Chain A
Amino acid sequence: MPVGDYCHAPVEVVSADAPLRSVARVMERERVGSVVVMEGERVRGVVTDRDVALRVLAHAGDADALPVRDLLHRRPVVVHADSRLGVAAGLMRRHALRRLPVLDRTQRLVGIISSDDLVGLVSRELRGLSRAVEGQRENARREVEWDT
């Protein structure tokens, strides 16, 4: 199952120069918990509502002056659209992240995948499995009834 089939698009993006206040407004207006930060066509990283809250309030950051670039401190962790879902889950675990930008082969942003998406998928699989078990049990019961 490739990541590209399950990721969300379109993605809310902000420019790396955007001040934190405007990023907070995008998060509020669009009802999203994170945005992808871009520098031109290049993905620079993901910033969450928590990152913004802590930088501005716990660390007295000036929301109107600080650019969102300031919150990015490492190479972005991304996943490719044709990677398997397990690869995305492994990256999230290794880097303690809940959301990953999804890129195509030309490094273009095509969506975002979250740990909630993965949980939803797993739970659907489990539901399917439990239905199969129920069906099996029902068949066994019918056979017993048939025999007696």
Chain B
Amino acid sequence: MSRAHHYDSEVCSVRWDASVVELARKLEEYAVGSVVVVDDAGQPLGLVTDRDLTCRVIAPGLPPAATTAGEVMSKPLITGQAEDALERIVDRMRVAGVRRIPVLEDGRLVGIVSFDDVLAALARELDDLGEAARAEVMHARRRRRRRRQLEESLWALRRQTERAGGHGRDFATRELEGLRERLRRLLH
């Protein structure tokens, strides 16, 4: 089973007293959708997404330079552990209605699992499965073709054997046995 730490990506954080302007610049610079807010000791406190900035700062008209990350963050922070099974993390996303879960290890922030990361990984796995199914079909078709060719040569040989006499028949019988053996190996 997959663990959370196989899916997390680098996490971006700001101190609780950073302004939302600094936070927005981080969102853009690191091309991420959320930033984890940490206390003075680096312990995670909450999360701010790009949407939070629009709904909690711009819509109500708060002054950007004087508004801190700590004032607009969502808390309590819903987190996962690095060793959590992926299913557990996804379940937590579903229950809490969030798309990102910061991952902790020994209380320390080590990454973040986003719904998009999980989806992309699943899509890759599905694609591999599809590829495997296609390969299996191709393989089966090739086997069928080879079997048909072998069967045809068997029949040709049998007809020749019936027509030939003496040494010819012995030779052909040996050949026939060889072919039968190949066919047997091919089918098992």
Task: Give A residues with C-beta under 8 Å from B.
Answer: 20-21, 24-25, 27-28, 33, 49-50, 52-54, 56-58, 60, 63, 119, 126
Contacts and interface: CB of A to CB of B under 8 A. Distances in A.
Contact of A58 (B24, B59, B61, B119): B24
A57 to B, nearest CB: 3
Contacts of B53: 49, 53, 57
**B21, B53, B54, B59 — most chain A CB neighbours (10 Å):** B54
B58 A52 contact: yes
Main DSSP-derived SS at the A contact region:
helix
Interface of B: 20-21, 23-25, 27-28, 33, 50-51, 53-55, 57-59, 61, 64, 119, 126
A52 to B, nearest CB: 5
Main DSSP-derived SS at the B contact region:
helix
A21 B50 contact: no
B73 to A, nearest CB: 14
Contacts of A56: 58, 64
A24 B54 contact: yes
**What 6 A-B pairs come out closest when comparing CB atoms?**
A57-B24, A53-B53, A50-B50, A58-B24, A24-B58, A28-B55
Given A28-B55, A52-B58, 6 more contacts: A52-B54, A54-B24, A54-B28, A57-B57, A58-B28, A126-B126
A122 to B, nearest CB: 9
**B27, B28, B55, B59 — most chain A CB neighbours (10 Å):** B59
Given A28-B59, A33-B51, A49-B50, A57 B119 contact: no
21 contacts: A21-B58, A24-B55, A24-B59, A33-B51, A49-B50, A49-B53, A49-B54, A49-B55, A50-B27, A50-B50, A50-B51, A53-B27, A53-B50, A57-B21, A57-B23, A57-B58, A57-B64, A58-B27, A60-B21, A119-B119, A126-B126
A3 B138 CA distance: 33
A49 B58 CA distance: 10
A63 B62 CA distance: 11
A50 B64 CA distance: 16
